[in-house]
Structure 1
Amino acid sequence: MKPTIRDVAKLAGVSISTVSRVMNAPDSVVESKRVKVLQAIERLQYQPNAFARGLIYKKSHTLGVLIPDIRNPYYAGVIRGMEDAAKSLGYSIIICNTDRDKERLISYLENCNEKQVDGILFTSETVYPDYYAEIRRFRLPVVLVSTHSLEYELPSVKINDEAAAYDAVSYLIGLGHRRIGMISLPLSDPIAGLPRYQGYMRALREHGLPHEGGQVIYAEHWYDEARSAAGRLFGQHPQTTAVFAASDEFAMGVLSFLHERGIRVPDEVSVVGFDNIRMSEMTIPQLTTMAQPVYELGYKGVEKLHRLIEHGSVTPLREYLPHSLIVRSSAAPGKGTQ
């Protein structure tokens, strides 16, 4: 059986914490005890693991990452940023796919607590009261990534979704489009649904365009649902000349629908997405989109969590990173403006 830190402590006649200090801060241990511990380690051929090294500091050097749906390509860039930052700061990460299920998410919080993670990166979901209650119960340091909470004092890093949607729709208006539809996430989604809808509506309103919301069709999170939503949009509003999609995956569903109907993009209809996932430049035509700095969001989230773990607080509490429009070939001037 592989020797443990307890075996070393027993053989050396010292406490587990003394063994940990020898491994982590040897100068803090008197020489006589240090020699006994080193001799015991050599005799037992003990190989300390990360958990044993961290016992004295009550740290596992592990972070838990709660992801709503690992299939969503948006999270690839976020997780890559998290992993790079974690590695540079000496952490490992555990990825937990919650599948947008409350019971599953709460069970993962319990698992992370049992595994003694040092902190949690909570991504892209609403912080409901029962989630917050568990976070408080376990006293886990938490940073929100691509989401935020105005109700609870939890550190966060994200973009301003309302402003980004406003800029995307304003770009289409600047190209001369006046009949602009939207494929939106449900308004019950306060993170990406409601604020992106509000940005779309504000752009129409401020540019003097009809803004009663009749050209908004709702879908859940997937490509197939967005393609179906595009069918409803053009069935109800056949004169639509541009579509703002609340995600790049939604935009791909729109492109697929238009291609099947023989409607040329961008000659007849322009399409703008949101996120700038890697596949957005692989579509035909390449997708114009409002980019989130996904890698930076993940990287900064880990940095923020590290500061919270080390110091107990961070500033600013709610941090917003800049968004940017990536102009490719799926959007062009509206009819009559060329």
Structure 2
Amino acid sequence: MNLIRERGVAMKKKQTVTIYDVAREASVSMATVSRVVNHNHNVKPETEQKVLNVVKKLNYRPNDVARGLASKKTTTVGVIIPNVTNSYFAALARGIDDIAEMYQYNIILTNSDGDEKKEIKALNTLYSKQVDGIIFMGNDISDEVREELRNVRTPVVLAGSVDPKNEFPSVNIDYRKAIYAQFNKLFENGNDRIAFIADNLSRSINKDYRIRGYQDALKDAGVPFRKSLLIEATDVSYESGYKLQERLIKSGATAAIVSNDDVAAGIMNAMGDNRINVPEQFEVATSDNTQLTEMTRPTMSTITQPLYDIGAVSMRLLTKVMDNEEIENNNILLSFGLKKRESTKD
């Protein structure tokens, strides 16, 4: 018997239970044990139950590292998320996780704070763990991050993130058409000075998609473009939105389309605190349809995005890429809508 001594007390050395131990105890082959623990149902029910009983009795835990070396797969997917506390990205992550579980993948979630250096560090960490694929969430892909993604053959799918160069598969809504539709709704309510607000106007998702939708709508409505109504928030926080209230009133705007729900909530509450009634005197429409839109008073009208579905479809797309399946469409656009609540008139 192998013994170790700690502080003068004799202790049994912990023995690792192997697949061989389970097979011997259950009187089956190691291949049968492997099929059972990998949820391959090509095993007789009574044999499967016998193996599961032994697995439980011996407290057997499959060795994922060894299994990965044998199959050249780790059954692990890395997910890079800008902010784990943000309701938008959290909803996407839930969809990713559910589909990952369905396809028997584990998730390694890393928070990047939307910072390029942290994104690169996260990528390198995930590569070192030999993940089978990566889902990248972020508002933009810098040249450095793009280069990092190119240099490694690990499959990548973008979720709720645009790629104007179309190098990587992605799942989104049509942000350009969504902003166009929301502008027209506010315009029909009698507003011709409608502000567009986002945290970084130079990011591709804003510059190449949302702002273009905003400009398309202005042109078709015969309303002149006013640079003063294109407003950049300092970040995607409630506080940054609250601070924009005075600037919005000075700009002459009577309505605003906001790219982030937290920012929109800040604007709306600041209006109320300054005795400006929403929506009678100022209309607010937001873009993400997170739970926050129903928690505020008044509740917020919004572009509706199928957030869970964006995450779920992204993970399913990644499984296809990882398995070298044929993919009909690399850039999937899911349906969006407009949800009327109390922060707009009609």
TM-score by length of 1: 0.83
CA contact (8 A) 2:157 2:318 kept: yes
Alignment of 1:295 onto 2:308 = yes
Match of 2:333 in 1: 320
State yes or no: 1:223 paired with 2:225. no
Displacement of 1:22 in angstroms is 6.7
Amino acid at match of 1:61: T
Aligned pair in 2 of structure 1 residues 216, 132: CA closer, same or farther (>3 Å)? closer
1:47 to 47, 61, 83: 61
| Residue number in structure 2 paired with 1:256 | 269
- Describe the superposition over 1:1-34 as per-residue Cα deviations: whole angstroms up to 9, x where unpaired: 44276x969xx9xxxxx9789724999xxxxxxx
Q: Is the 8 A contact 1:186 1:194 kept in 2?
A: no
The residue aligned with 2:345 is 332
Q: Which letter does structure 2 place at the counterpart of 1:98?
A: S
Q: 1:125 to 1:8 in 2, by over 3 A?
A: farther
Query: Of residues 285, 292, 295 in structure 2, which corresponds to 1:282?
Result: 295
Mapping of residues 1-338 of structure 1, within 5 Å: 1-3=14-16, 23-24=34-35, 47-192=61-206, 194-219=208-233, 220-237=235-252, 240-311=253-324, 314-332=327-345
Identity of aligned residues (%): 31
How many aligned residue pairs are there?
Answer: 310
Question: Is this contact kept in 2: 1:20–1:53, CA < 8 A?
Answer: no
Contact 2:134–2:154 (CA under 8 A) maintained in structure 1: yes
Cα deviation, residue 46, structure 1: 5.3
Aligned-pair distance for 1:114? Answer: 1.4
Kept in 1: contact 2:162–2:204 (CA 8 A): no
1:267 CA drift (Å): 1.5
C-alpha distance in 2, partners of 1:202/1:236? Answer: 21
Distance 1:132 1:268 in 2: 44
1:70-115 deviation per Cα after TM superposition (whole angstroms, max 9, x unaligned): 2222112111111111111111111110112222111111111111
Rounded to whole Å, the distance in 2 between the matches of 1:140 and 1:270 is 45
User: Within 1, Cα distance between the matches of 2:190 and 2:59?
Assistant: 74
CA distance in 2, matches of 1:54, 1:202: 51
SS in 2 for 1:325: strand
**Contact map agreement 1:21 1:56 (CA 8 A) in 2:** no
CA distance in 2: counterparts of 1:193 and 1:4, whole angstroms: 57
Structure 2 vs 1, CA of residues 23 and 270 (structure 1 numbering), >3 Å: closer, same or farther? same
- CA shift for structure 1 position 52: 3.1
TM-score (normalizing by structure 2) = 0.81
Report the alpha carbon displacement of residue 274 of structure 1 after superposing the two structures with TM.
0.6
With over 3 angstroms needed to count, the CA separation of the structure-2 counterparts of 1:200 and 1:163, relative to structure 1, is: same
* CA distance in structure 2 between the partners assigned to 1:80 and 1:124 by the alignment: 16
Residue 34 of structure 1 corresponds to none
Question: Structure 2 vs 1, CA of residues 326 and 46 (structure 1 numbering), >3 Å: closer, same or farther?
Answer: closer
Q: Which moved more, 1:322-331 or 1:200-209?
A: 200-209
Structure 1: gaps (5+ residues): 13-17, 28-37, 334-338
Deviation string 1:243-289 (CA, Å, 9 cap, x unpaired) is 21122222111111101101111121111111101110111111000
For structure 2, the residue ranges without an aligned partner over 5 or more in a row are 1-13, 41-50
CA RMSD, Structure 1 to Structure 2 (Å): 2.7
Question: How many angstroms does 1:174 deviate by?
Answer: 1.4
Summarize the Cα distance change of 1:2–1:116 in structure 2 as closer, same or farther, 3 Å threshold.
farther
